[in-house]
Amino acid sequence: MRKGSFGIYLVCVCALALPCDAASHGEIVGWGYDNSGQVSSAPTESNFVQLAGGLYHSLALRSEGSLVSWGSDSYSLVTGTPSATDFTSVSCGWQFSMALKSNGSIVCWGDDSDNQVGSAPTGTGHQAIAAGGYHGVAIQADGSLVCWGDDTYGQVSGKPAGTDFAKVASGRNHSIVLRTNGSLASWGINGYGQVSNTPSGTDFASADGGDSHSVALKTDGSIVSWGSDTYNQVSGTPSGNDFVAVAAGRLHSVALRADGSLVCWGRDNFSQVSSAPEGSDFVAVAGCVYHSLALKHIPIPGLINYQGFLKSSGGSPLNETVTLTFRFYDRDTTGTLLLTIQQTGIQVCEGIYNVLLGSGTVTPGAKETLADAFQSYGGVWMGVEVNSDGEMGPRIRIASAPYAFAGGLAETARDLTHITPRSTAPAHPTAGDVYIDASDGNRLKVYDGTFWRACW
């Protein structure tokens, strides 16, 4: 029987350094007011597909259908987040949240002072949802609208009739819908023309509402805003026709350009405009009351250069050719088998082997490829089997970031003692090679394809 020293397993090369297929999803970036951690407490995973935010809280949908909330926990906005994994869409009101399930049912939680939670429609088949300040809107299976919650300004009773609605959005006390013919309709409070000044035409792609203004994206990539212009929410609207998404905060707006960059305008009292992140790798935006959120694109590796260490049951480094079977799971114990990859003819020299995870014979489990697994789950753990000796333990977490040590490295650093320290780097290295540099305090170094880099 053989056993593996999991302490020195390395993820040595990132996706950018390998010619591999990439999938797209995002990590969360927030800016603006942060009194309750609605910006700074955002989760650090990178498998999110949709964002929403309210007064002092935020909400995100993971690619596998689960939810996570952060920020203020008033009305159990965070701790009351449902734990199912079959959600497809999210939206936030001022102090309540809602999510749509894959069967079209609606779940709401948080503040219920206007029955915006308790009066949420039951049943399945709903196609889209939107949370206003204290009211909710949904498109039903037949394309008609259903509204509930606060009706002070006709947010519920004033909804338009018809069965031709495709998308819905809400501001604090008004709502906007997109018809299947590309036209818009608004209802609710009209103090600044946010209803009566709704633009005509049949060339709209989406819309969103703030406190007293609205913003819409046209099919040609241009933006139209209307309603209150107190803080240049309307007059500050950027020109051009290279936009792909828009969102409204209470008194500010944010737009996403086709090149992945962000543009913000409107009130800047909490730096919700001036502190917008730079870069051209964003894929989605959400306007919240006093803050905003965006998803930053993270390339997912199809191949990962991976180095491991094997020793015999007697403790000696292995020197032979083996078959390795790598099994990937969504948890460190039990969990779901995501996929299995087997590679034959792997040469192990002095206990060390190098492989490209993602290549070899792939047997799909819950996922088809390694990239799919990384995209769909916040963590991926790997178990290794040598020949047919059974899977070794414990599983280790695989990271798609460059030079990320597996957890527990410090505790098992003694497993490196079989490698003799040397004062000069090995000649003719390949990416992923390691050695202990005696001239630099016996630090472990890894070759990234260009340079030797210290790992501790």
Can you give the pLDDT at residue 352? 85
Question: Which range is most confident: 73-77, 326-330, 394-398?
Answer: 73-77
pLDDT tier for residue 154 given thresholds of 50, 70 and 90: very high
Whether 9 and 90 map to the same domain: the answer is no
Please give the full DSSP string across 47-98, using - where no structure is assigned: -EEEEEE-SSEEEEEETTS-EEEEE--GGGTTTT----S-EEEEEE-SSEEE
* pLDDT reading at 294 higher than 80: yes
Look at residue 201 and tell me if it is in a domain: yes
Domain boundary among 251, 282, 300: 300
Whether 75 and 199 map to the same domain: the answer is yes
Percent of the chain with pLDDT over 70: 87
pLDDT, tens only, 170-214: 999 999 999 999 999 999 999 999 999 999 999 999 999 999 999
Whether 257 and 321 map to the same domain: the answer is no
pLDDT tier for residue 7 given thresholds of 50, 70 and 90: very low
- Looking at per-residue pLDDT, the higher value among 107 and 418 belongs to 107
Look at residue 77 and tell me if it is in a domain: yes
Expressed as residue numbers, the domain containing 388 is 2-17+302-407
Can you give the pLDDT at residue 108? 98
Whether 133 and 265 map to the same domain: the answer is yes
Q: Which residue has the tokens 């909710």?
A: 136
Whether 210 and 316 map to the same domain: the answer is no
Question: Among 306, 290, 301, which Cα is nearest to 94's?
Answer: 290
- Range of weakest confidence among 124-128, 195-199, 303-307, 340-344: 303-307
Can you give the pLDDT at residue 378? 59
Look at residue 27 and tell me if it is in a domain: yes
pLDDT, tens only, 82-132: 999 899 999 999 999 999 999 999 999 999 999 999 999 999 999 999 999
Look at residue 9 and tell me if it is in a domain: yes
pLDDT, tens only, 351-385: 888 888 888 999 999 988 888 887 766 578 899 99
* pLDDT reading at 414 higher than 70: no
Look at residue 412 and tell me if it is in a domain: no
Whether 164 and 271 map to the same domain: the answer is yes
Whether 47 and 180 map to the same domain: the answer is yes
Q: What is the DSSP letter of 335?
A: -
- Could you give the number of structural domains in the chain? 2
Whether 107 and 159 map to the same domain: the answer is yes
Domain boundary among 367, 388, 407: 407
Q: Which domain CATH number covers 6?
A: 2.60.40
* pLDDT reading at 4 higher than 70: no
Share the mean pLDDT of the chain: 86
Domain boundary among 284, 300, 316: 300
Can you give the pLDDT at residue 124? 95
Whether 99 and 170 map to the same domain: the answer is yes
Whether 318 and 232 map to the same domain: the answer is no
Can you give the pLDDT at residue 419? 62
Percent of the chain with pLDDT over 90: 63
* pLDDT reading at 455 higher than 60: no
Q: Which domain CATH number covers 205?
A: 2.130.10.30
Whether 292 and 312 map to the same domain: the answer is no
End-to-end, the C-alpha distance of the chain in Å comes to 31
Residue 2, beta-bridge partner list? 312
Can you give the pLDDT at residue 454? 65
Look at residue 417 and tell me if it is in a domain: no
Whether 59 and 83 map to the same domain: the answer is yes
What does the alpha-carbon distance between residue 383 and residue 335 come to, in Å, rounded to a whole number?
A: 12
Task: Answer for the pair 272, 264: CB distance below 8 angstroms, yes or no.
Answer: yes
Q: What is the DSSP letter of 12?
A: -
pLDDT, tens only, 219-238: 999 999 999 999 999 999 99
* pLDDT reading at 409 higher than 80: no
Look at residue 424 and tell me if it is in a domain: no
Question: Among 186, 322, 207, which Cα is nearest to 255's?
Answer: 207
Please give the full DSSP string across 427-438, using - where no structure is assigned: SS--TT-EEEEG
Look at residue 433 and tell me if it is in a domain: no
What does the alpha-carbon distance between residue 314 and residue 266 come to, in Å, rounded to a whole number?
A: 69
